[in-house]
């Protein structure tokens, strides 16, 4: 059995040495009410970076020398719990271990005949729910409006843009490579894309791509990209603060423009959120996401990395933009 522990709290960008691998030669015994799980897929997500700091947040920090945990899909290989049988697959927040004993609490059964297992960590999991709830509950889209998405080629961003198209919006995506911009347009139906790494003037490019101004900004990255968007917002714009990956590794307080004048003069709304705020909307979100998937209106892409030993690297690669769509490790 292998486990990955948090060995040290990263300073700035995480490095492989912040993680420790532990192997033990033991067989696991289960008792009444328990199940034995073999890990199949592990989700690596930018928000895990926040849990590596010793700081107060909406979720407690990881403890040093304890296993890191994230969204996991696992196979039940033995069961003494009547709710689960051998061969079932479950999803839940679980420690980074190749095998483990669980009591079933907080685990949901997932059906591999309805969708590939990895999809339950992405479009049919937290990613899809985040995209749907953030866009509909805070973005409050109205057909004909203009939506701009940062981190657009990532897991959440690529779903937000597609939902925007389904709801009749003009959709512009911002991402880090030309290949990603091509994918936004050809695979996900975005109307336009801006490569923030090669753009000489993002603010002007946004103005050009959004001649009617920006009504909704779905922000995954923060920092200077967001500043450039704010110069282009319309009256009553809604700014959905989903994440701020560009500053997760900052050692100092990031400098940014002062946003208040933009919000005041445009009577704009800016709101952060955590997907779990909208738990009561999850059934509606799942109905739409799975329905649109089945109808072919929604699609997704994944970057699947092989092997338990590559989990830390896959996580670190998120901050290098190595992924297209959802980053997942297959065990």
Binding site for ligand NDP (CB under 6 A): 45-47, 126-127, 130, 151, 153-157, 175-177, 180, 220-221, 225, 242-246, 273-275, 318-319, 321, 323, 327
**Residue among 98 and 177 whose Cβ is closer to ligand NDP:** 177
Task: Describe the crossing of helices 155-166 and 282-295 by its angle, rounded to 10 degrees.
Answer: 80
For residue 34, the minimal CB distance to ligand NDP (Å) is 30
For residue 55, the minimal CB distance to ligand NDP (Å) is 15
Q: Is the distance from CB of 290 to CB of 315 less than 8 angstroms? A: no
Half-sphere exposure of 282 (CA within 13 A, CB side): 12
Q: What angle do CA 280, 326, 246 make, to 5 degrees?
A: 90
Q: What is the largest CA-CA distance in the chain?
A: 64
For residue 240, the minimal CB distance to ligand NDP (Å) is 9
Question: Going by C-beta distance under 8 Å and a sequence separation of 6 or more, which residues neighbour residue 294?
Answer: none
Token pair of 307 as six digits = 């092997």
**Residue among 134 and 141 whose Cβ is closer to ligand NDP:** 134
SS3 287: helix
**Residue among 1 and 108 whose Cβ is closer to ligand NDP:** 108
Could you give the CA distance from residue 132 to residue 156 in angstroms, rounded to a whole number?
Answer: 9
- Count the Cβ atoms, other than its own, within 10 Å of residue 204: 13
For residue 315, the minimal CB distance to ligand NDP (Å) is 10
For residue 159, the minimal CB distance to ligand NDP (Å) is 8
Token pair of 232 as six digits = 């282009």
SS3 328: strand
Could you give the CA distance from residue 72 to residue 94 in angstroms, rounded to a whole number?
Answer: 6
**Residue among 51 and 97 whose Cβ is closer to ligand NDP:** 51
Token pair of 330 as six digits = 């297959």
**Residue among 73 and 242 whose Cβ is closer to ligand NDP:** 242
Q: How far apart are the first and last CA of the chain?
A: 12
**Residue among 91 and 127 whose Cβ is closer to ligand NDP:** 127
For residue 276, the minimal CB distance to ligand NDP (Å) is 7
For residue 160, the minimal CB distance to ligand NDP (Å) is 9
**Residue among 35 and 48 whose Cβ is closer to ligand NDP:** 48
**Residue among 79 and 127 whose Cβ is closer to ligand NDP:** 127
For residue 107, the minimal CB distance to ligand NDP (Å) is 20
Q: Is the distance from CB of 103 to CB of 33 less than 8 angstroms? A: yes
Give the closest residue to 45 by CA, choosing from 314, 331, 320: 314
């Amino acid at each position: 059995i292998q486990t990955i522990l948090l060995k040290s709290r990263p300073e700035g960008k995480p490095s492989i040495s912040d993680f420790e691998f532990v192997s033990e030669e033991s067989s696991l015994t289960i008792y009444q009410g328990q199940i034995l799980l073999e890990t199949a897929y592990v989700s690596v997500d930018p928000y895990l970076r926040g849990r590596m700091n010793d700081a107060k947040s909406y979720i407690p920090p990881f403890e040093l020398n304890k296993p890191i945990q994230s969204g996991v899909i696992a196979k039940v290989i033995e069961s003494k719990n009547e709710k689960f049988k051998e061969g079932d697959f479950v999803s839940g927040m679980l420690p980074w271990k190749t095998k483990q004993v669980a009591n079933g609490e907080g685990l949901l059964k997932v059906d591999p005949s309805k969708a590939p297992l990895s999809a339950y960590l992405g479009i049919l999991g937290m990613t899809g729910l985040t995209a749907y709830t953030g866009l509909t509950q805070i973005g409050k889209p109205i057909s004909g409006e203009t939506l701009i998405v940062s981190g657009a080629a990532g897991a959440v961003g690529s779903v937000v843009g597609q939902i925007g198209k389904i709801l009749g919006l003009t959709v512009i995506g911002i991402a880090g490579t030309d290949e990603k911009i091509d994918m936004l347009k050809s695979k996900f139906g975005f109307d336009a894309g801006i490569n923030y790494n090669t753009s000489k003037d993002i603010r002007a490019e946004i103005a050009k791509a959004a001649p009617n101004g920006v009504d909704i900004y779905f922000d995954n990255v923060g920092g200077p990209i967001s500043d450039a968007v704010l110069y282009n917002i319309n009256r009553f714009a809604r700014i959905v603060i989903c994440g701020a990956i560009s500053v997760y590794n900052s050692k100092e307080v990031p400098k940014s423009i002062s946003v208040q004048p933009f919000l005041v003069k445009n009577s704009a709304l800016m709101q952060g959120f955590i997907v779990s705020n909208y738990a009561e909307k999850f059934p509606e979100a799942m109905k739409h996401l799975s329905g649109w998937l089945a109808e072919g209106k929604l699609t997704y892409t994944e970057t699947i990395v092989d092997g338990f030993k590559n989990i830390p690297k896959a996580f670190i690669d998120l901050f290098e933009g190595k992924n297209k769509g959802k980053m997942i490790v297959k065990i």
